[in-house]
Structures are given as C-alpha cells and as structure tokens.
C-alpha cells in the first residue's frame, strides 16, 4: 500500500507537465494505473483487517471513497472559482496522498511479518479461483450499471424531463451522495446481514430506482429514483470485494481482489457507450430501463452465486480442527 500510494502521488503530477494531447494521454494512463493499483492494495488491506478482526469494514471503506468523490468535486469547484489552476489542485492532492502513503509504512511492515509466517493454504483454493472469476463478472455488471446511470442521468433530466442545467448538473452529485449513504448503511447492517443479502438487496433497490428514473414524469421523481439507484448499487462492489477476500488465503488475497477489480473496471468502459448505442436505436428512457433489467439480473445472479457458506473458509476450519485434535 505505501508503494502504490507513492506511485499514485507521483503520477498525479504527470498531467501538469503535459504539453500536447499525446503527452496528456500518456500522463493520464499512468495516473489511472496508479489509481487502480492503490485501489486494489487498499481493498486487500481492508480485507486483511477483516480477516484478522472478524468484522466487516469494506462497506465503510467504500463509503469514504464515495464521500471523497463528492467532497473533492465540490472543493475543486470552489478552488477553481477562487482562481486555482489544475497544477495547484493536483499538487495539493499529490502531497496529501504521499503523506498518507508514508503514514502506512509501519502498518504494512507489521502485516508483512504476519503474512511471512507459514500458513496452511486453503484446500478449496482451486475452487476459489473459479469463484473469483464469477465474482469479477458480477462486479463488471455492477460497475456497468453504476457508471452508466451516473453518466447519463444529467442528460436524461435535461433532455427527457425538461430540467434546467443546474438541476441536471446536480444529478451526478446526488448519485454520489446516495452511494455514500448506501455504503454507510451497509457498514451498519454488516453485522446483521450476510454479504449475499446486502448485494442482492442493493441490486434490487438499484433495479427499482433505475426503473423509476426511466419512467419518471417529472425531475423530482427522477431524482428520487436516481438516489435509490445510487444507494442500491453502492452495496454491490463492497460485498463482492469482501467475499473475494474471505474465500482467498492470506497470500493470495491481493491477487484475488485485483482480479475482481480489474475485470470490474471493464464495466466502466462498456457501460456509458452501451447506453449510448441503445439510446440511439430507441430512446434514452428505454436505455435506462435496460439498466434496470441488468440490475435485476445482478440481484438474482448474486443471490445464487453467493448462497451458502464460503467453501474455502469451511476447508480452513476443517484443517484447523484436525490439527488441534478437536475433530
């Protein structure tokens, strides 16, 4: 985590020195790679803490991410209003990121010492690899729905419902706020409900919200549907990351979360364009309605895939019982 944090801090500065469209593209590729690497390492670290303490922290971590998106967008807007240039904003963020990354060095060293101790590999690790692939596919579906709704909501409010630019521009912010609230709620409910319940319930809420957004007769109703969709879909990625960490052995936890995250990012690439194609062939309401059907499919698939106990965890418990003679 310190290494990926420092790498991201350095790559944040790249766009400042870009002088041509090509150099800016290269700089943004490195910055995005740094962001993705840090994303994976943070999720793996949270999963390690969950395994050590036996609690659920993934929803809270993702809630803070959503809050960061909202706060940084508003803060950057105010900074620009006061005359700040991109170099000023990116420079401040790079310094903050580097300081936080350096602050995690001691924690990372302790975690490395713990993982260096010999630990039995999960007997179900082969099955866990197949499970990780399925979780990654579900994550791609979730990110597709999430990014497509967030990207097209403003245009839907303005073009289909006659909302003004101010109300249309507020739509992505409302979506981000709803995601923060949804993930915070997931953190509070984590001790009472399984990841399967939170994922399926959240995806079902997203399906209802997207349907309401597509059928809304007025901007107010559409914003309510947008908020419901944001709060619902926000539950899915943390639940999948947490499950990926739970079914993996400690040494392979980071790699498992990396696979889920990497394939999940494909949803960000496909989603907005796919909605655009459907909207071109039909209309924007129909395109958003199709996202509702995808969220419903996600809810049903998640309920089926995540049924029962983690097989890897069951094998680990069995091995431990045999070792201690309590079997």
Cα separation, 200 vs 107, in Å, equals 34
pLDDT at residue 264, as a whole number: 87
| Segment 101-105 mean pLDDT | 90
Least confident of 125-129, 201-205, 265-269, 286-290: 125-129
Q: Which CATH class is domain 2-315?
A: mainly alpha
pLDDT at 311 over 60: no
C-beta separation of 271 from 234 below 8 A: no
pLDDT at residue 297, as a whole number: 95
Contacts of 49 (CB under 8 A, 6+ apart): 57
| Segment 250-265 mean pLDDT | 82
Per-residue pLDDT tens over the stretch 45-91: 888 888 777 777 888 888 998 888 888 888 888 888 888 898 999 99
Cα separation, 274 vs 65, in Å, equals 26
pLDDT at residue 327, as a whole number: 47
Task: Look at the alpha carbons of 227, 229, 231, 234 in this order and tell me if their dihedral is positive or negative.
Answer: negative
Per-residue pLDDT tens over the stretch 113-144: 655 554 544 444 556 667 888 899 999 999 99
pLDDT at residue 93, as a whole number: 93
Least confident of 64-78, 146-160, 228-242, 243-257: 243-257
Q: Please report which confidence band the pLDDT of residue 308 belongs to, taking 50, 70 and 90 as the band edges.
A: low
Output the average pLDDT for the chain.
Answer: 84
pLDDT at 111 over 70: no
pLDDT at residue 75, as a whole number: 85
Cα 120 to the center of its chain, rounded Å: 30
Cα separation, 317 vs 31, in Å, equals 41
pLDDT at 189 over 70: yes
Give the DSSP letter of residue 27.
Answer: H
pLDDT at residue 246, as a whole number: 80
Give the DSSP letter of residue 122.
Answer: P
Share of the chain above pLDDT 90, in %: 36
pLDDT at 312 over 50: no
Where do the domains of the chain lie? 2-315
pLDDT at residue 315, as a whole number: 47
């Amino acid at each position: 985590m310190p290494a990926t944090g420092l790498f991201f801090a350095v790559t944040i500065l790249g766009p400042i020195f870009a002088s041509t469209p090509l150099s800016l593209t290269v700089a943004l590729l490195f910055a995005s790679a740094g962001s993705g690497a840090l994303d994976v390492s943070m999720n793996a670290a949270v999963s390690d803490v969950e395994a050590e303490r036996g609690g659920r922290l993934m929803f809270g971590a993702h809630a803070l991410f959503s809050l960061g998106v909202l706060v940084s967008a508003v803060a950057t807007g105010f900074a620009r209003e006061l005359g700040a240039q991109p170099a000023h904003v990116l420079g401040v963020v790079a310094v903050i990121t580097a300081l936080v990354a350096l602050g995690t060095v001691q924690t990372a060293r302790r975690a490395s010492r713990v993982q260096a101790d010999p630990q039995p590999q999960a007997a179900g690790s082969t099955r866990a690899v197949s499970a990780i692939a399925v979780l990654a596919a579900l994550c791609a579906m979730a990110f597709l729905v999430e990014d497509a709704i967030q990207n097209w909501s403003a245009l839907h409010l303005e073009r289909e419902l006659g909302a003004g630019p101010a109300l249309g521009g507020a739509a992505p912010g409302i979506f981000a706020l709803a995601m923060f609230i949804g993930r915070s709620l997931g953190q509070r409910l984590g001790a009472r409900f399984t990841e399967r319940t939170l994922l399926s319930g959240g995806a079902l809420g997203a399906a209802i919200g997207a349907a309401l957004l597509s059928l809304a007769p007025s901007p107010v109703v559409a914003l309510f549907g947008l908020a419901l969709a944001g709060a619902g879909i926000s539950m899915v990625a943390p639940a999948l990351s947490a499950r990926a960490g739970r079914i993996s052995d400690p040494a392979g936890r980071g790699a498992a979360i990396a696979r889920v995250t990497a394939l999940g990012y494909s949803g960000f690439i496909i989603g907005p364009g796919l909605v655009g194609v459907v909207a071109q062939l039909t209309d924007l309401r129909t395109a958003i309605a199709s996202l509702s059907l995808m969220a419903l499919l996600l809810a049903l698939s998640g309920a089926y895939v995540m049924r029962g106990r983690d097989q890897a965890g069951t094998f680990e418990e069995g091995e431990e019982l045999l070792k201690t003679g309590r079997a």
